[in-house]
């Protein structure tokens, strides 16, 4: 599947998996690293000591990024992150293109940085991901809603998280139903504003059968 032409102010399902379906997140440090990248690489800010930030997150569940950097990332953002799920050998993102070629720039930064980190940590070389990432256009509001349900249900595939996906720490589901941990870095309003309450959204996700959702999203 090739990436479609990406348009400003449009929404996309962006995903990729490890080459040969290899594990790309081996432990919480890996997951925290990728989570940091998808949150804080949204704008024109570079970080020189990411490992220290990740170590702090592992201990305190907070990314220690100063206020000025946070503000600059938001003000220079070239994408908006709407939802995410990090699975053992793949990831799913819902992104809005805020500036021309923004998704391409964002994904290049995220994937290049993570691949370099992963190869260095595990003393390997070569490609980590299975070719270029996929970016599938969300054609209407129905697809957007069901895409969020599909992504938030994804952790059900992990045995220890089956029927506990709302508490899975490496997806945005709990940010939708409890409290948004990431503030302006996760734009959940486009979805949640269409429901009377977070509990109504939870019911929507729970009743969105995987088979039906895949049909709506044209996912095999």
Q: Domain of 168: which CATH number?
A: 3.30.70.1290
Determine, yes or no, domain membership for 1.
no
Determine, yes or no, domain membership for 4.
no
Determine, yes or no, domain membership for 207.
yes
User: Two tokens at 46?
Assistant: 């570079």
Determine, yes or no, domain membership for 22.
yes
Domain count, the chain: 1
If phi > 0 it is left, if psi is from -120 to 50 it is alpha, else beta; for residue 62 that is: beta
Determine, yes or no, domain membership for 63.
yes
146 vs 72: CA distance, rounded Å: 32
Annotate 5-42 with DSSP letters as a single string. Answer: PP-TT-EEEEEEEBGGG--S--SHHHHHHHHHHHHHTS
Cα torsion for 212, 216, 218, 220, to the nearest 10°? -10
Do residues 64 and 9 lie in contact, with contact meaning Cβ atoms separated by under 8 Å? no
**Sign of the dihedral defined by the CA atoms of residues 46, 48, 51, 52, in that order:** negative
Determine, yes or no, domain membership for 2.
no
Determine, yes or no, domain membership for 41.
yes
pLDDT value, residue 216: 65
pLDDT in tens, the chain (220 residues): 345 568 889 999 999 999 998 999 999 999 999 999 999 999 999 998 899 999 999 999 999 999 999 999 999 999 999 999 999 999 999 999 999 999 999 999 999 999 999 999 999 988 999 989 999 999 999 999 999 999 999 998 888 888 889 999 999 999 999 999 999 999 999 999 999 999 999 999 998 866 566 666 666 5
Determine, yes or no, domain membership for 5.
no
pTM (2 d.p.): 0.93
Which domain range does residue 93 map to? 11-217
């Amino acid at each position: 599947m090739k990436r479609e032409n990406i348009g400003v102010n449009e929404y996309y399902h962006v995903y990729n998996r490890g080459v040969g379906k290899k594990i790309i997140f081996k432990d919480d440090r890996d997951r925290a690293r990728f989570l940091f990248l998808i949150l804080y690489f949204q704008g024109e800010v570079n970080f020189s000591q990411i490992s220290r930030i990740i170590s702090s997150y592992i201990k305190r569940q907070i990314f220690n990024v100063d206020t000025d950097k946070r503000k600059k990332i938001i003000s220079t953002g070239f994408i908006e992150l709407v939802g995410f799920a990090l699975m053992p050998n793949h990831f799913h993102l819902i992104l809005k293109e805020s500036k021309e070629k923004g998704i391409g720039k964002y994904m290049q930064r995220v994937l290049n940085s993570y691949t370099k980190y992963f190869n260095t940590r595990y003393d390997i070389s070569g490609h980590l991901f299975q070719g270029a990432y996929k970016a599938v256009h969300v054609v209407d509001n129905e697809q957007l809603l069901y895409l969020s349900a599909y992504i938030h249900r994804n952790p059900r595939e992990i045995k220890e998280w089956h029927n506990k996906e709302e508490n899975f720490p490496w997806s945005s589901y709990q940010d939708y139903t409890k409290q948004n941990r990431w503030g302006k870095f996760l734009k959940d309003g486009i979805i949640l504003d269409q429901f009377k309450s977070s509990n109504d959204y939870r019911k929507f996700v729970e009743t969105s059968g995987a088979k039906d959702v895949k049909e709506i999203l044209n996912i095999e």
